[in-house]
């Protein structure tokens, strides 16, 4: 019995328990650190790869295809308000024929660092005049359903040259446009307003207005 008791005590002694750490070495600790470092390096590489791929996709779209634009001022009310966020079709618009009624972004010819948002009213080769606030194209009055309040101003007839456009704000009583700046050359036009992304309750795309007696081209 004494021998069995001694044997059991020997089995339960600290030297024979599972808590013996003699099997671990500094090499194992170094291996564990290296394994964690390797995992972090792989994670970092994957994040960088996703960022690079995303930029490769987004930047060309941002720089060459579409541009964001924030409305400043009241010249296009009630159709566009201050601080609305718009997406501008830039590249494809360069290759498309400009049409009457399109809302465009262009550089101010008198200060090319400033950008304006206006609507195309007159096309190359046309004669444009304003009488008591009404716009006449080649002597025919232009029906403009998007205008809430007409001004009472007058503007002498202007014959548009090739690649020249007569642009006006929808808020005719509060707009700096071709009535003051003169016709806008095609080279100053940046793009066409394609999409409104903000505010949420006004998100939409834009269709051309219908000019029954004159047409859009």
**Measured distance CA(83)–CA(66) in Å, rounded:** 18
Question: 102, 192 in Cβ contact below 8 A?
Answer: yes
Which of 35, 75, 98, 113 is an active site residue? 75
**Measured distance CA(139)–CA(113) in Å, rounded:** 35
- What Å distances lie between residue 139 and 6, 134, 159, CA to CA? 121, 11, 12
How is residue 71 written in tokens?
């409305």
Q: Does 210 qualify as catalytic in the annotation?
A: no
**Measured distance CA(146)–CA(143) in Å, rounded:** 9
Q: Does 157 qualify as catalytic in the annotation?
A: no
Which of 13, 98, 118, 175 is an active site residue? 118
Give catalytic residues, as residue numbers: 75, 118
């Amino acid at each position: 019995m004494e021998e069995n008791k001694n044997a059991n005590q020997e089995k339960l002694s600290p030297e024979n328990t599972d808590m013996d750490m003699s099997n671990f070495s500094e090499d194992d600790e170094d291996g564990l650190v290296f394994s964690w470092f390797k995992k972090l390096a792989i994670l970092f590489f994957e994040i960088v790869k996703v960022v690079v791929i995303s930029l490769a996709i987004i930047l060309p779209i941002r720089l060459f295809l579409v541009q964001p634009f924030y409305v400043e001022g009241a010249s296009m009310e009630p159709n566009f308000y201050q601080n609305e966020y718009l997406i501008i079709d830039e590249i494809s618009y360069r290759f498309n024929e400009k049409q009457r009624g399109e809302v465009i972004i262009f550089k101010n010819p008198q200060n090319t660092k400033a950008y304006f948002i206006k609507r195309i009213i007159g096309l190359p080769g046309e004669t444009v005049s304003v009488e008591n606030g009404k716009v006449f194209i080649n002597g025919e009055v232009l029906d403009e359903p998007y205008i809430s309040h007409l001004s009472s101003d007058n503007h002498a007839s202007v014959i548009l040259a090739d690649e020249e456009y007569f642009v006006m704000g929808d808020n005719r009583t509060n707009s700096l446009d071709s009535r003051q700046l003169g016709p806008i050359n095609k080279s100053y036009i940046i793009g066409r307003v394609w999409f409104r992304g903000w505010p949420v309750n006004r998100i939409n795309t834009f269709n051309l207005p219908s000019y029954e007696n004159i047409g859009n081209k």
